[in-house]
Amino acid sequence: MNRLVNRVGRFFLLFVLALAVLTPLWGLAVPYYGGLAAGVARPLFHAVERADVTVVDARDGEVWILRRLDEQRVTPFLYFDRYTLFAVIPLVALFVATPGLGLWRRAVRALLGVVALFVVQVGYLVAAVELSYAAAGLSTSGAFVSRTLEGWQILVRVLWEAGPLLIWIALSACAWKRFWRDLRAPVGVPGDLVREAAPAGTERGIGGLDTREGWLR
């Protein structure tokens, strides 16, 4: 029990420390990250809209949605502040704190996680705007969406909130399996050691483990 408390406590401590270090960097990164999200969202709006009425503008980390009134005029419709996309910071902090990962695997998983979360965030921006159009009676998305509007809004919000955690769980599952295996192993014996059948006459050590050959896979 003490081993579990110590290791879980270490994980939470590392997460908090990583979050404290990374959070101030968000102010430097958000103009570029928000600008990239806006740039990717623009063609998606063009693809999903029949009338092509949405204009996306990135302003110092904020993503502004403007709606065309006619060929010459646009009006602000909605904006997402600098912390709308902030979930990327705690996601990276989770990978920093995840036990059982080497530096290279940790970096690769964090990068894959950020890319996956970016896709989720851009999808959320597009879906949130289109659903807001439908709620305001400005959309021609069809009767099905209109009848199930509240359900779609709830689904998009749940996926938005749970997305970072689900991505982290999916990419760190193997590390956590090793973590629990190590906890179940006897004290002083790494969980990834294996017992190999020894030939006749081989000397056995404590617990029946071969004392002459390496145990690591």
The predicted model gives 133-162 an average pLDDT of: 77
Residue 199 DSSP one-character state: P
The predicted model gives 185-208 an average pLDDT of: 46
* φ, ψ of residue 78 in degrees (nearest 5): -160, 150
- Among the residue ranges 36-45, 99-108, 116-125, 137-146, the one predicted with the least confidence is 137-146
Decide: 55 and 68 in contact? Cβ < 8 Å.
yes
Distance of CA 51 to the CA centre of its chain: 33
What six digits make up the tokens of 77?
């419709």
What six digits make up the tokens of 185?
């192993």
The predicted model gives 69-85 an average pLDDT of: 89
pLDDT in tens, 24-38: 999 999 999 999 999
Contacts (Cβ under 8 Å, ≥6 apart) of 120: 159, 160, 163, 164, 167
pLDDT in tens, 153-179: 889 989 999 999 999 999 998 888 877
Say yes or no to pLDDT of 88 above 80: yes
pLDDT at position 213, please? 37
Decide: 19 and 93 in contact? Cβ < 8 Å.
yes
Say yes or no to pLDDT of 39 above 90: yes
The predicted model gives 79-101 an average pLDDT of: 93
Query: 144 or 217: whose pLDDT is higher?
Result: 144
The predicted model gives 114-136 an average pLDDT of: 92
Q: Left if phi > 0, otherwise alpha if psi is -120 to 50, otherwise beta: which for 114?
A: alpha
188 pLDDT band, cuts 50/70/90, is: low
* φ, ψ of residue 67 in degrees (nearest 5): -115, 130
Q: Closest by alpha carbon to 214, among 182, 184, 181, 192?
A: 192
What six digits make up the tokens of 65?
């949605």
Residue 87 DSSP one-character state: T
The predicted model gives 54-73 an average pLDDT of: 89
CA distance 150 to 132: 11
The predicted model gives 120-129 an average pLDDT of: 94
Say yes or no to pLDDT of 204 above 60: no
Decide: 172 and 98 in contact? Cβ < 8 Å.
yes
How large a percentage of the chain has pLDDT more than 70?
A: 78
